[in-house]
Structure 1
């Protein structure tokens, strides 16, 4: 689906389809759920490089910045949260920037794009500016939307740490730890190269990004740096949580083995007494009531005395 925003000669906002793509002035062309025919139309209309057009049809692209003669081409990622903070989905946003046109391409509806689109559709002054300003607002919206996702994930890691340290964790805690680690890997894979993309935009080296706009891109780049640092800190915290979990598991195992050993030691005298007096001999030694009473008393006193001794020694 192709939609276009532009202004007429009276600075009135026009919204429509491909028929407005070649109108004069600043234009924003947004393509959702792109098809090969629509991407071929982009190439025929604006002369974008075939390699960039090919990237728009093949997802799983790395965040990147490419400076072609016809346009600046970049790929960034938005984040979608599923059932929990660790259930993350990365969605690609492709963008072409020329002196008069901003083209965005994405496979699914992106809330960040919709918010900026609605803002531009209601503000002729914003649309009257150059496309690099629209691109700035779009990148700023994408980066700002990443913060609550990272914060939720960090809070979930703190919750895992509390569960592990207090011993109140469930059997699924290890699965949740590895799910959080996988989410952090995805975040790092997306945010690390995204910093380089925003750095290129903040430098203002390309004439299609005005020097004034590059100053605003510096602020977006600074936010992206903070997000990347937060992800690295969360990875370190998750490593500590995993180490604490293994330590707690080892302590529980040692405690179980200790108790089993104590129980074995307690029952060892009973085993000896019952084994000695329960042998199937024709003539049992000490065959009188006195020795029988002594045997019964020893079976009661010895285990009780060992329990008291273990308790005084703080073994139980």
Structure 2
């Protein structure tokens, strides 16, 4: 579907289907191609005459966030996050003097939000670069709910110390959380680099207010990356702590089992000696030999346990 919005010379905002339907002079035009058909995509060639490489990038290949300068326009790729899957959603933007074209193969809530604000006059738009910055701001701000949600999950791990949950379950949950953080970082980090290039490159020729706006957006991305990195460090610490705790428990178990084994070794030796079937074993004829041997075995065990206790081996 293709939608066209433009402002005429009387500063009236109007809507039509195709830019070819505009019959009056205009200050600027915004063409939004939402899940466009092949025929609708032809407007990129027939009306705007964009470079074939930029059209190929927009229509055929999933791109990383990037910025490319052409003769009379710039080609930009933004990534948003899907509300349900955390997968990246791409929106391709062509922007030049007096026009902006947004091309996306899925429905973009951020673009719908800009459209509503535009018609309700809740944002001030003087030129296409204002639409670009407002769209970028919407996309970046929508990263926050995902990051806050994961940050809450990380902090909730501290509350699970007092719950009888297996170490394996906690480790599995930690790895799942780190996977989500990695997915978000793959989106936020390239976007941060892109916005930095847009701000420092001076190619868009932003005015003072627009520079303040893009600096504000860049600050949000820096904060988001710091939150993601902090959460990754915390999950790494949690994982290492639980692995260390599990190793500590296993070492204690092995220590106790080793102590029992060492204590029973001399007792087993005595029992083995008197279990041999030789005829010339004088102790076998002792009337109280059985009780004497049991007492000796008990004394040996107690002495060994006392020595181990003194050495603080358990």
- Per the TM superposition, whether the score is higher than 0.5 is yes
User: In the superposition, relative to structure 1, how do residues 248 and 98 fare at CA in structure 2: closer, same or farther (>3 Å)?
Assistant: same
CA distance in 1, matches of 2:224, 2:310: 54
Change (3 A) 1:130 1:45: same
The equivalent of 2:247 in structure 1 is 250
Find the counterpart in structure 2 of residue 295 from structure 1: 293
Q: Which residue of 2 aligns with 1:194?
A: 191
Give distance in 2, aligned partners of 1:152 and 1:169. 24
- Asked whether the 8 Å contact 2:198–2:204 carries over to 1, the reply is no
Per-residue displacement from partner, 1:109-150 (whole Å, max 9, x unpaired)? 2322222222123228745x2111111111111111112222
Verify the 8 A CA contact 1:132 1:208 in the aligned structure 2: no
Structure-2 residue corresponding to 1:5:
5
Distance in 1 between the 2:248 and 2:121 partners? 63
- Shift of residue 10 of structure 1? 6.1
Mapped partners of 2:236, 2:190: distance in 1: 23
Secondary structure of 1:286's match?
Answer: helix
Indicate the larger mover: 302-311 or 37-46.
302-311
Q: What is the aligned partner in structure 2 of residue 72 from structure 1?
A: 74
Give yes or no for the alignment of 1:185 onto 2:182. yes
* In 2: Cα distance, 1:29 partner to 1:61 partner: 21
Alignment RMSD (CA, Å)? 3.1
SS of the residue 1:279 aligns to:
coil
Cα deviation digits, residues 264-291 of structure 1 (max 9, x gap): 1232233123212222334544122311
How many angstroms does 1:246 deviate by? 3.2
Contact 1:96 1:103 (C-alpha < 8 Å) held by counterparts? yes
Q: TM-score, normalised by structure 2?
A: 0.84
Equivalences for residues 167-246 of structure 1 within 5 A? 168-203=165-200, 205-206=202-203, 209-246=206-243
For residues 203-236 of structure 1, what are the alpha-carbon distances to aligned partners after superposition, in whole Å with 9 as ceiling and x for unaligned? 4823564443222111111211222232233333
Between the aligned partners of 1:276 and 1:131, the Cα distance in structure 2 is 97
User: Contact 1:34 / 1:57 at 8 angstroms: preserved in 2?
Assistant: no
* Aligned counterpart in structure 1 of residue 108 of structure 2, from 110, 118, 122: 110
Is the contact made by 1:199 and 1:221 (CA closer than 8 Å) also made in structure 2?
Answer: yes
1:218 to 1:274, Cα distance in 2 relative to 1, 3 A: same
Counterpart of 2:133?
Answer: 136
Give runs of aligned pairs for residues 268-283 of structure 1, distance below 5 A. Answer: 268-283=265-280
- Residue 174 (structure 1) shift: 2.7
How does the TM-score come out when normalised to structure 1?
Answer: 0.83
How many positions carry a matched residue from both structures?
311
Who is 1:155 aligned against?
152
Distance verdict in 2 for CA 1:170–1:89, change over 3 Å:
farther
> For structure 1, which runs of at least 5 residues remain unmatched after alignment?
none
Structure 2 distance, partners of 1:125, 1:245, is: 50
